[in-house]
Amino acid sequence: MELMNAEVKKKLPPLYSQEHLGLNAVAHVKYFTPFSGWSWFGTEFDPETGIFFGLVQGMEVELGYFSLKELQACADDLLVERDLYFIPTTLNEIQNTLKNGGFC
């Protein structure tokens, strides 16, 4: 699966452009591993460095930076996929959904 295509790249705002919104920033893309329960919700992206900012659901739920290159490298071992049906959602809504047992 192609993790980043032109359509997704076009939707993602540049890094730091939503930081003034806090948890009202919108995640435009979701990546996930169906077998480990990890998910990455990207709110911003720098196409030159391949760095995202967003929310990561792993051992903890936290805000931070993650790398497209690392996701692509993990895709071979962990089967990282892009959620083709993800609807852009605020970080606040995502956190509330995760607290209530939603998403995978």
19 falls within a domain? yes
Tell me what pLDDT residue 1 has.
Answer: 72
| CA 102 to each of CA 6, 9, 28, 94, 95: distance values in angstroms, whole numbers, following the listed order | 29, 26, 18, 9, 9
104 pLDDT exceeds 60?
Answer: no
18 falls within a domain? yes
35 falls within a domain? yes
95 falls within a domain? yes
Tell me what pLDDT residue 76 has.
Answer: 67
Q: Which two tokens stand for residue 3?
A: 């993790």
66 falls within a domain? yes
- pLDDT (tens digit per residue) in 48-103: 999 999 999 988 899 999 999 999 887 666 788 999 999 999 999 999 998 887 76
- pLDDT (tens digit per residue) in 8-62: 999 999 999 999 999 999 999 999 988 888 999 999 999 999 999 999 998 889 9
Q: Please tell me the total count of domains within the chain.
A: 1
Report how far residue 60's alpha carbon sits from residue 1's, in angstroms, rounded to the nearest whole number.
26
104 falls within a domain? no
Report how far residue 81's alpha carbon sits from residue 51's, in angstroms, rounded to the nearest whole number.
17
Report how far residue 96's alpha carbon sits from residue 29's, in angstroms, rounded to the nearest whole number.
17
Q: Which domain holds residue 91?
A: 6-99
Tell me what pLDDT residue 79 has.
Answer: 85
Report how far residue 101's alpha carbon sits from residue 85's, in angstroms, rounded to the nearest whole number.
19
Tell me what pLDDT residue 75 has.
Answer: 63
pTM above 0.85, yes or no: yes
